[in-house]
A = this chain, B = another copy of it.
Amino acid sequence: MNTTLERVLIGGEWRPAEATDSFRAMNPDTRETLPHVYPVSTRSDVEALLEAGSAAASALEDAGSERIASFLEGYADRIDAAKEQIAAVASLETALPVSPRLADVELPRTTNQLRQAAAAARDTGWTMPTIDTANGIRSFLGPLGGPVAVFGPNNFPLAFNGIAGGDFAAAIAAGNPVIAKAHSSHPRTTQLLAEEAFVALQQSGLPPATVQMIYRTSHEDGVWLVSHPLIGACAYTGSRSAGLVLKAAADGAGKPIYVELSSVNPVFLLPGALQERSEALAEEFHGSALLGAGQFCTNPGIVVLAAGTRTEAFIADLVARFEASPVGALLGAAGVRGMETAVETLCQAGASLLVGGNALQDSGCRFQNTLLRITGKDFLADPARSQTEAFGNGNLLVVADDEGEMVRIAAAFEGNLTGCIYAHSGDADNELYGRVTKPLRRRVGRLLNDKMPTGVAVSAAMNHGGPYPATGHPGFTAVGIPAALRRFGMLECYDNVRDNRLPPELRDANPTGRLWRFIDQQWTQDDVVHEAIGARS
């Protein structure tokens, strides 16, 4: 055992990993290797996680939602208190700026999510209690009975972190323990978060293995984890290739898995909008496209416009803005290689470079701000290749011959998280809006008007999801409470069960007087009312 390795959080304690290998993170801004050494866990660690997580799942059922809510709130408070250190470390590991990005936006969003999840756990309305008094049948969503494995991505070290992000908060609030896998690009950030989670957990009285965390496993052991009989479910955000391997394994074992894989988030700029406010659109797109060096799941990767002089002027404006903008560092060396490959693929599909297109040869992980252009005809000739995701500061402009081609392009997109349409503020674009929306609507989870997709509000009405291959199922969202919690519930039905044996949410008396329940086809906060036998109807 290498005693210099950082410890993993398994079974309610920080303990040495059973590791045969190790890794260190890198500062992408400088390509400097960072000091801490992290273990690659072996199968025996994964087994220990599953056994402790399974026992915790059972114990958690009896812990009560108030304790779960208190844990989430205590954890949020601790993250807020440690904000400076967490944001500084996350910045070192990701090259994302401390301010405003990490300290002022992402961290507050993270603790907001935890607090919203706490409120949902306490309210319990996410369980959708449904009562059929005539048949004596009652149902709601309960926990899964096993731990949820959460694999966070590289691009949101806090708000999507496996041990602090939306999937984590949702799984815990729904009453399930979490087994978090840190992303290898920001282990120290994850470690700091896990330390706060651990202290908050001890103070909450929840089972000690409610939250566990390791840094890395082999691919084989990851597959073994998500398809194990003791696992409850899995949530994964990251690269499509790795996600599909996990998905196949979990699907084959009948385990729910929620994956967020890729998205190019098409933006349609209709002629009336361009005529009305070309410069404002260029400014808005440019800001959204290069936010976080373009490394947003909802980055507006592809813009579709109709050919014409206004479009040429718009493109010239964009080129100038991309050229003049500072180049942000990508999250790591793999991001640079990914950009190189994507640009090459897009050029093979017929795109040409307007600006950028190459890695920067200084010490950090940087790629030139890049804009490509392709004709609608070329796009439609090989739509799969033409919508290759360039994850980072590269975007593709599709110039259609006419409005009919714009509509055909809309129908050629794969499943995406978002799709945007910018239209004239009056009625000038109404007819085309309808024609573009019709095919686009079924291909995107969230349809935006006159707004860039990079803001993802933590809203009950949000959909951060979409048809495959954006995610694995078009009915679920990873962001938004209470909907995100429902992914981690099993439908529990009670048929002819005595009132005192029912969960509180399903008894005659409304447990809080405020819980919304669907009783006899009506949503109500009332108690169940039993009609007296023989009463007149």
Q: Are A463 and B523 in contact (CB under 8 A)?
A: no
Q: Is A255 interfacial (CB-CB < 8 Å)?
A: yes
Q: Are B475 and A256 in contact (CB under 8 A)?
A: yes
Q: Are A449 and B492 in contact (CB under 8 A)?
A: no
Nearest chain B CB to A349 CB, angstrom units: 19
Q: Are A489 and B475 in contact (CB under 8 A)?
A: yes
Nearest chain B CB to A301 CB, angstrom units: 17
Q: A135-B461, A253-B468, A463-B491 are in contact. List 18 more A-B contacts (CB 8 A).
A: A131-B461, A132-B457, A135-B459, A137-B457, A144-B474, A145-B442, A254-B467, A255-B468, A448-B496, A448-B497, A449-B495, A451-B496, A461-B493, A463-B492, A475-B491, A477-B493, A516-B523, A523-B523
- Docked CA distance A467–B233 (Å): 11
Q: Are B144 and A493 in contact (CB under 8 A)?
A: no
Nearest chain B CB to A401 CB, angstrom units: 24
Q: Is A521 interfacial (CB-CB < 8 Å)?
A: yes
Q: Is A366 interfacial (CB-CB < 8 Å)?
A: no
Residues 391-433 of A at the B interface (beta carbon under 8 Å): 415, 418, 433
Q: Is A450 interfacial (CB-CB < 8 Å)?
A: yes
- Docked CA distance A468–B229 (Å): 10
Nearest chain B CB to A247 CB, angstrom units: 7
Q: Which residues of chain B have C-beta atoms less than 8 A from A518's C-beta?
A: 460
Q: Are A441 and B248 in contact (CB under 8 A)?
A: no
- Docked CA distance A132–B251 (Å): 34
- Docked CA distance A443–B494 (Å): 13
Question: Could you write out 14 A-B pairs with CB less than 8 Å apart?
Answer: A130-B460, A130-B483, A137-B461, A137-B462, A139-B461, A144-B474, A256-B473, A446-B494, A446-B495, A447-B493, A451-B496, A463-B493, A475-B486, A475-B491
Q: Which residues of chain B have C-beta atoms less than 8 A from A461's C-beta?
A: 130-132, 135, 137-139, 493
Q: Is A536 interfacial (CB-CB < 8 Å)?
A: no
Q: Which residues of chain B have C-beta atoms less than 8 A from A131's C-beta?
A: 461
- Docked CA distance A448–B522 (Å): 24
Q: Are A139 and B463 in contact (CB under 8 A)?
A: yes
Residues 135-155 of A at the B interface (beta carbon under 8 Å): 135, 137-139, 141-142, 144-145
Q: Say which residue of B58, B252, B491 sits within 8 Å of A465 (CB atoms).
A: B491
Residues 456-505 of A at the B interface (beta carbon under 8 Å): 457, 459-463, 465, 467-469, 472-477, 483, 486-487, 489-498, 501
- Docked CA distance A253–B414 (Å): 12
Q: Are B460 and A132 in contact (CB under 8 A)?
A: yes
Nearest residue, chain B, Cβ from A476:
B491
Whether A254 touches B460, Cβ cut-off 8 Å, given contacts A448-B496, A449-B498, A474-B491, is: no
Nearest chain B CB to A452 CB, angstrom units: 10
- Docked CA distance A254–B443 (Å): 13
Q: Which residues of chain B have C-beta atoms less than 8 A from A438's C-beta?
A: 58, 61
Q: Which residues of chain B have C-beta atoms less than 8 A from A494's C-beta?
A: 446-447, 449
Nearest chain B CB to A207 CB, angstrom units: 15
Nearest chain B CB to A503 CB, angstrom units: 10
Q: Say which residue of B132, B467, B468, B501 sits within 8 Å of A449 (CB atoms).
A: B501
Q: Are A468 and B254 in contact (CB under 8 A)?
A: yes
Q: Is A364 interfacial (CB-CB < 8 Å)?
A: no
Q: Is A445 interfacial (CB-CB < 8 Å)?
A: yes
- Docked CA distance A255–B471 (Å): 10
Q: Are B448 and A491 in contact (CB under 8 A)?
A: no
Whether A493 touches B446, Cβ cut-off 8 Å, given contacts A473-B256, A501-B433, A523-B516, is: yes
- Docked CA distance A461–B139 (Å): 5
Nearest chain B CB to A388 CB, angstrom units: 18
- Docked CA distance A463–B493 (Å): 6
Q: Which residues of chain B have C-beta atoms less than 8 A from A501's C-beta?
A: 433, 437, 449
Residues 114-134 of A at the B interface (beta carbon under 8 Å): 130-132
Nearest chain B CB to A113 CB, angstrom units: 15
Nearest residue, chain B, Cβ from A448:
B495
Chain B CB within 10 Å — which of A457, A459, A460, A491 has the most? A491
Nearest chain B CB to A457 CB, angstrom units: 5
Chain B CB within 10 Å — which of A131, A415, A476, A490 has the most? A490
